[in-house]
Structure 1
Amino acid sequence: MTSEGLCEDCTAALDSAPGSTPTPAPAGSSAPAPAATQAAPEAPAPVSTPAAAPAPVSTLTPPPVPAPGPVLRAPVVLSYVVITMLAVVALTDLARTAAAAHIRGLMEDVGAHTEDELYSGELFMAGSLTAYVIALLTTGVFFVIWFHRTRVNAGALRPDLQRRGSGWAIGGWIIPIGNLWLPRSVAGDIWDASLPDYGQGGKGSSHALLNSWWALWLVSALAGRIAGSSYDGADTPDAISTAAAVVMVGNLIDIVAALLAIAVVHRLTVMQHRKISGAVPSVALPQSGQQV
């Protein structure tokens, strides 16, 4: 029997009925232990990724990087400058020739002319000579630059035909005695390398234009020295007149040499321009190691 006067079975039935209030446990009785809380699942252990094997170290030596070859560039614009300067040299030669002819006229009858007229004749002669020297030196600078550029191109087009390094295109002009033939030798190699069919059974390998220009260049240089020394040493009207005639001859030779130089510059530049631009196929040969 319980404290309320009900048997234990009746009390259990009342507690299980719907809407009934559970009967509190009597004092001194122990409550049943709550069910143990379910443990949370453990996180999966991280999967270890094996370390990548180190890349094998190559023991082979990489091939050397070839040095860049010379840049092919036809000196078209530079040739225009050189041709223009050569024309200026020819014009100063004409001015010198006119001055020498004027001096000859004065010397034929010195007494018929005043001192002012004689002085003006000498001033005309000296001024034309100064203009010629300035034009010649300026032309020489541009010509050597153009000449070296064509030699660099020739070394790339046909290195097998170049007997000397590209530095000789500059140094050959300033070496005493050697400047009488070294530039012509370099020019011949450049000419052959620029020909469209050299060494392929074709024609056009003649050096007639080169030889004519170089011969006239040497003759004009010699004639200029002779004319200058004879005019400076003349001290009589007859001697001055004769020296002026020598100057006129030297100037005419120099004019022809300048015209031939213009033809050489134009012809060589055109040949290289056609070959570099692909209008004329060039022979593919490896660049030979040559010292400048």
Structure 2
Amino acid sequence: MLTSKDELRPRPPLPSGTPPLASRGLLIAVVAAFAAVALGDLFAVYTGVRLRAVVDGDVTATTVSSLEDTYSLYERAGRVQMVTFLLCAVLFITWFFQMRRRTELLAPNWFRKGPGWAIGAWFIPVANLWLPYRIAADMWNACAPLPTEGKSHRLPMWPVNLWWGLFVGTTLLSRYAAARFDMADSLTEISGIVTLFLTIDLLYVAAAGAAVVFVVRLTALERLRAAEEPYRTPVDA
């Protein structure tokens, strides 16, 4: 956390003298990956609705496809979700790591751990429920405008909180639903769990949208902050 003394401390110059602008190409790739994830989730919603109709004994649905064929399509949607999620995870963590390195140059006093934690934090069991959020919050605050007349400028945290709340909450709910599905032994239970998965898939769509807002806004903030004399402070002035 920055203090008033930290805010007025001159920051080190850039190694090359050029502001570390975030990559727009990587940003476009990450946004496209999240769009693919959202489409995969919507496909899962479609197949889930069909599976529930068959399980519940809807006559129209059963004439179109048997239970086995419908369940096969539902599993295929799950595989599509897995592939798009893995692709998105690779691109997003790459962007997350690069953004962590760039934002540290803007405000080194905000960070207590090295840039490698921007990757490692995602793979530590239990701790990955909050460590990436702390790093994201630090990056967000590091991109705040420079203080003027001794007053610091705080950015609204809702894009970070919304993205992380949806992502973690939906992930935990998904694990609970998967455990229930493995123990289901009747069509009635399967129908109820499929309904739960429909809700989870829709929440994942919302989480993907929130992630896009976070990624786009943080990238824009970093580029703006780096372009407006990022190392000029009231002391220098």
Give TM-score scaled by structure 2 length.
Answer: 0.84
**Do structure 1's residue 187 and structure 2's residue 136 form an aligned pair?**
yes
**Do structure 1's residue 103 and structure 2's residue 41 form an aligned pair?**
no
Query: What corresponds to 1:139 in structure 2?
Result: 88
**Within 2, Cα distance between the matches of 1:101 and 1:222?**
22
Alpha-carbon shift at residue 116 of structure 1 (Å): 5.5
Q: Rg: which structure is higher?
A: 1
Alpha-carbon shift at residue 203 of structure 1 (Å): 4.0
**1:109 match: secondary structure:** coil
- Given that 2:144 and 2:153 are in contact with CA atoms closer than 8 Å, whether structure 1 keeps it comes out as no
**Within 2, Cα distance between the matches of 1:198 and 1:118?**
63
Identity of paired residues, percent?
28
- Given that 1:70 and 1:152 are in contact with CA atoms closer than 8 Å, whether structure 2 keeps it comes out as no
**1:205 match: secondary structure:** coil
Query: What corresponds to 2:75 in structure 1?
Result: 126
Counterpart of 2:168 (choices 202, 215, 218) is: 218
Counterpart of 2:159 (choices 209, 223, 226) is: 209
**Do structure 1's residue 258 and structure 2's residue 208 form an aligned pair?**
yes
Q: Which amino acid aligns with 1:187?
A: A
Query: What corresponds to 1:288 in structure 2?
Result: none
Counterpart of 1:93 (choices 37, 41, 44) is: 41
- Given that 1:76 and 1:273 are in contact with CA atoms closer than 8 Å, whether structure 2 keeps it comes out as no
CA deviations over 1:207-253 (Å, ceiling 9, x no partner): 11101111111111011112222223323221111010010111111
**Within 1, Cα distance between the matches of 2:89 and 2:27?**
13
Q: Which runs of 5+ in 1 are unaligned?
A: 1-66, 286-292
Alpha-carbon shift at residue 155 of structure 1 (Å): 1.1
CA deviations over 1:76-134 (Å, ceiling 9, x no partner): 11011111101111111111111111111001117883796212211111000000001
**Within 2, Cα distance between the matches of 1:203 and 1:88?**
36
- Given that 1:163 and 1:189 are in contact with CA atoms closer than 8 Å, whether structure 2 keeps it comes out as no
Q: Which amino acid aligns with 1:250?
A: I
- Given that 1:89 and 1:132 are in contact with CA atoms closer than 8 Å, whether structure 2 keeps it comes out as yes
Query: What corresponds to 1:231 in structure 2?
Result: 181
Query: What corresponds to 2:126 in structure 1?
Result: 177
| Bigger relative contact order (CA 8 A; separation at least 6) | 2
Counterpart of 1:160 (choices 109, 112, 120) is: 109
Counterpart of 2:30 (choices 75, 78, 82) is: 82
Give TM-score scaled by structure 1 length.
Answer: 0.69
- Given that 2:106 and 2:143 are in contact with CA atoms closer than 8 Å, whether structure 1 keeps it comes out as yes
**Residues 198 and 211 of structure 1, relative CA distance in 2, 3 Å threshold:** farther
Q: Which runs of 5+ in 2 are unaligned?
A: 1-13
**Within 2, Cα distance between the matches of 1:234 and 1:81?**
39
Q: Which amino acid aligns with 2:35?
A: A
Query: What corresponds to 2:192 in structure 1?
Result: 242
**Within 1, Cα distance between the matches of 2:166 and 2:124?**
20
Higher percent of residues as helix: 2
Q: RMSD in angstroms over aligned alpha carbons?
A: 2.5
**How many pairs align?**
218
Which runs of 4 or more aligned residues in structure 1 lie more than 4 Å from their structure 2 counterparts after TM superposition? 67-71
